[in-house]
Amino acid sequence: MFSRAEVEAIASLANLELDANEIAMFARQLGEILAYADEVQQVDTRSVPPTASVLAPFPSDRPDEVRPSLARDVALANAPDPAAGAGLFRVPRVIG
């Protein structure tokens, strides 16, 4: 079981604005899921390296060449608030 403050702290890191019901629900469910996931602590992993990728290493270098990419208007086409003339994504004010 997580406290309300703990859930709010995680939500803040994740940029989520949870409502009161969600905070209560996640406080319970995250606790239950992590209590289960805690079974990994039983495993002796001394001197076991972590696996981040299962791929055998292969050379994926490529020449650093300019290649075609999305046109600016195409890249802006899905933006909720494009500044098309300037070729920019517009966002709410960050500083006063």
Cβ of residue 90: shortest distance to other proteins, in angstroms? Answer: 9
Q: How far is the CB of 85 from other proteins (least distance, A)?
A: 17
Contact 82, 76 (CB under 8 A): yes
Write out the residues near other proteins by the rule CB under 8 A: 7, 10-11, 13-19, 22, 25-26, 29-30, 32-34, 36-41, 43, 45, 48-55, 58, 60, 62, 70, 74-75, 77-81, 89, 91-96
Cα–Cα distance, 58 to 96 (Å, whole number): 49
| Of the candidates 49, 6, 43, the residue with the CA atom closest to the CA atom of residue 24 | 6
Q: Which CB atom, from 80 or from 85, has the smaller least distance to other proteins?
A: 80
Q: How far is the CB of 78 from other proteins (least distance, A)?
A: 4
Q: How far is the CB of 37 from other proteins (least distance, A)?
A: 4
Q: Which residues contact 75 (CB under 8 A, 6 or more apart)?
A: none
User: Crossing angle, helix 20-37 and helix 4-13, to 10 degrees?
Assistant: 90
